[in-house]
Amino acid sequence: MKTWTSVLAGATLCVAALAVLPAQAQSASSRAEDAMDQILFDFDASDYVSYRVVNFGYLEITFPSNTPRDVARRILDAARHSPDISGIRENFGGAACSRF
């Protein structure tokens, strides 16, 4: 009887632990998205920079192909210094922007 009780208790703990993991991942992704939205707002870049949350707060950021590198560098530096963004991968393959 003790064996089944132990197995049941262990299984319950495992299920509870697995249920918490997606909630933590979702909140990490939400925090990263909120942080990046704020960065783009601060730099007035939300109309030409796009991004997506890949996993657990990691972002893929796409700049227009003609984005000045100093503009991109300031945005990327702000994203790298945000405690809510786990990491970033940038690319400059977006459509050219008439702003530049």
What tens digit of pLDDT does each residue of 62-87 get?
Answer: 999 999 999 999 999 999 999 999 99
Cα separation, 97 vs 100, in Å, equals 6
pTM over 0.75: no
Examine the pLDDT at 55 and tell me if it is beyond 90. no
DSSP 29-87: HHHHHHHHHHHHHHTT-TTT-EEEEEETTEEEEEEETT--HHHHHHHHHHHHT-TT--E
In the chain, where are the structural domains located?
2-94
For residue 11, name the pLDDT band (cuts at 50, 70, 90): very low
Domain 2-94 belongs to what topology?
Answer: Alpha-Beta Plaits (3.30.70)
Residue with tokens 């970033």: 88
